[in-house]
Amino acid sequence: MSEIFKNHIEKFTEINDEEFSEILAFFQTQQVRKKENLLVEGNVCKYHYFVLRGCLRKFFVNEKGLEQTTEFAIENWWITDNIAYERRLPTAFYIQAVENSEILRIDSYSQEKLLIKFPKMERYFRFIYQRAYAASQMRVKYLYELSKEAFFHHLNEKYPEFVQRIPQYLIASFLGFTPEYLSEIRKKSRS
């Protein structure tokens, strides 16, 4: 299963088997069941997660007490509350498994040691953050530009398999409307 991580690193930098097994020693593998929380609001955000299999989501609980999902992470994605992780602070977010998942996790001290021991991992993480930042910038643009309904259609066109895979109430929680409203939009777009 950890081969998935090796393949992902190799997209950005070369590593041999020996290096990879040393790199992997900085991580723990974790099995997590659907709906299990990896991170809870108010707790210190200790870990950075890489998804080997399954799906995680990040959300916060808004003023109305509703879960507002801000991110999903499927295979080959990293997820954490980055500010809280880097500074080892309590988080305002939850991270929860959407499906039974297998993940790698690393704490920020170990990540720093890993980067010092394997400077080529700086290149790997530079790409990870660069692409995540670029995606987040587009997300900000869409939040300004598109209505919630238009954003749903955009998702549906660009990532149909993702929209199929994620339970509808979580797609609704990501878009910021009720599952009932999402269901209406879907009916409208089919007719």
Q: Does 151 bind its own copies (CB under 8 A)?
A: no
Three-state SS for 56-98 is EEEEEECCCCCEEEEEEECCCCEECCHHHHHHCCECCCEEEEC
Of 29-58, which residues contact its own copies (CB under 8 A)? none
Q: Rounded distance, CA 94 to CA 38, Å?
A: 7
State the maximum Cα–Cα separation within the chain, in Å, rounded to a whole number: 58
Q: Which of 10, 22, 122, 184 binds its own copies (CB under 8 A)?
A: 122
- 2 interacts with its own copies by CB under 8 A: no
Q: Does 19 bind its own copies (CB under 8 A)?
A: no
Q: In angstroms, what is the minimal distance from the CB of 31 to its own copies?
A: 26
Please identify, among the stretches 2-10, 17-25, 31-39, 130-138, the one whose residues bind its own copies according to the rule CB under 8 A.
Answer: 130-138
Q: Please state, in angstroms and rounded to a whole number, the distance separating the CA atoms of residues 55 and 41.
A: 19
Regarding 92 and contact with its own copies (CB under 8 A), the answer is: yes
Closest to 36 measured CA to CA, from 117, 98, 124: 98
Question: What residues line the site for its own copies (CB under 8 A)?
Answer: 60, 62-63, 68, 70-71, 81-83, 86, 92, 115, 119-120, 122-123, 125-126, 129-141, 143-145, 176
